């Protein structure tokens, strides 16, 4: 993978990390960062994540062969549809959004001839925000989901997969809906849970929290605006995952209410087996 000009739209934690990794690995000759605030662009440039900051989308995408949208999920589809008519034929557009079906289905079939979009989601990140938290190794050995639909151009799919592999990631190809169903359970539901748990902590108990509470609620520090948009995109799958979890929590509650310690131990054993298999 060797790109003459790579444009990164949104240079926060993810966009900044893509820039750093693309530089370090010699993937792009020139990296343009597109953002609305010149201070963020200046930070990204000082960190070496981009070569040049650009405040306007269209002039940037005109110069790029590959554009990666790293903006909040509720803006990505519109930005792609806005950018595409300005792109040269052969331009590859992809993204790093946490949801895929709404974005991919909004774009599918609506791009000019020769301009392709393939959805992506690197399963890496943090509750932190901003290019100042960018990490050159963020994608190293992580999975990036790349989406495929009946409309997906196979050459564009391959280029997208190659891009993420070049950035250090392993690639898994899924339908957008399969991605969203899985992530509802592996990412969006944990966020909801963490936020529910953090939300009921009375301030006088703060000093009585230890690493267990902090680990379990860490993601609740994520940006509420970004996460509201994710929940809006993936509402149905999250509600299904929540029902599944509520059923499981009812089993815990029933065991506690009945003082059925064998049943409780079995539930804890199953959970430990599954968690141990994930590693640290």
67-126 positions binding a copy of itself, by CB under 8 A: 123-126
The token duo for 106 is 């909004």
Total of chain residues touching a copy of itself, rule CB under 8 A:
82
Per CB under 8 A, the segment of 17-25, 51-59, 75-83, 236-244 that binds a copy of itself is 236-244
The one-character DSSP state at 114 is T
Binding to a copy of itself, residues 170-189 (CB under 8 A): 172, 182-183, 185-187, 189
The token duo for 280 is 């640290």
Binding to a copy of itself, residues 255-274 (CB under 8 A): 256-257, 259, 261, 264-265, 267-272, 274
Q: Is 136 or 194 the residue whose CB approaches a copy of itself more closely?
A: 194
DSSP 33-85: EE-S-HHHHHHHHHTTS-SEEES-HHHHHHH-SEEEE-S-HHHHHHHHHHHGG
- Residue identified by tokens 């190659």 is 162
User: In whole angstroms, how close is the CB of 197 to a copy of itself at the nearest point?
Assistant: 6
- Write the CB contacts of 193 (distance below 8 Å, at least 6 apart in sequence): 245
Per CB under 8 A, the segment of 55-63, 99-107, 156-164, 193-201 that binds a copy of itself is 193-201
Beta strand pairing call for 120-122 and 3-9: unpaired
- Residue 141 in the binding site for a copy of itself (CB under 8 A): no
- Residue 142 in the binding site for a copy of itself (CB under 8 A): yes
CB 140 within 8 A of CB 170: no
Binder to a copy of itself among 147, 160, 169, 217 (CB under 8 A)?
217
């Amino acid at each position: 993978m060797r790109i003459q000009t790579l444009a990164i739209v949104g240079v926060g934690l993810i966009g900044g990390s893509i820039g750093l990794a693309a530089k370090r690995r010699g993937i792009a000759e020139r990296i343009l960062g597109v953002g609305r605030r010149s201070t963020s662009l200046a930070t990204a440039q000082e960190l070496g994540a981009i070569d040049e900051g650009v405040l306007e989308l269209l002039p940037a995408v005109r110069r790029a062969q590959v554009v990666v949208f790293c903006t909040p999920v509720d803006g990505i589809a519109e930005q792609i549809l806005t950018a595409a008519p300005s792109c040269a034929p052969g331009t590859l557009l992809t993204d790093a959004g946490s949801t895929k079906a709404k974005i991919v289905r909004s774009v599918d079939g609506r791009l000019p001839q020769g301009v392709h979009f393939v959805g992506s989601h690197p399963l890496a990140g943090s509750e932190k925000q901003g290019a100042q938290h960018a990490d050159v190794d963020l994608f190293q050995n992580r999975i990036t989901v790349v989406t495929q639909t009946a409309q997906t151009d196979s050459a564009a799919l391959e280029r997208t997969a190659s891009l993420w592999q070049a950035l250090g990631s392993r690639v898994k190809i899924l339908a957008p809906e399969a991605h969203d169903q899985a992530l509802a359970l592996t990412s969006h539901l944990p966020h909801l849970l963490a936020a529910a748990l953090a939300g009921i902590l009375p301030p006088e108990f703060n000093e009585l929290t230890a690493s267990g509470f902090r680990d379990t609620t860490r993601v609740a520090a994520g940006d509420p605006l970004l996460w509201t948009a994710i929940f809006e995109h993936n509402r149905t799958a999250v509600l299904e995952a929540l029902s599944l979890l509520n059923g499981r929590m009812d089993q815990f509650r029933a065991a506690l209410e009945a003082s059925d310690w064998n049943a409780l131990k079995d539930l804890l054993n199953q959970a430990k087996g599954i968690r141990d298999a994930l590693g640290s």
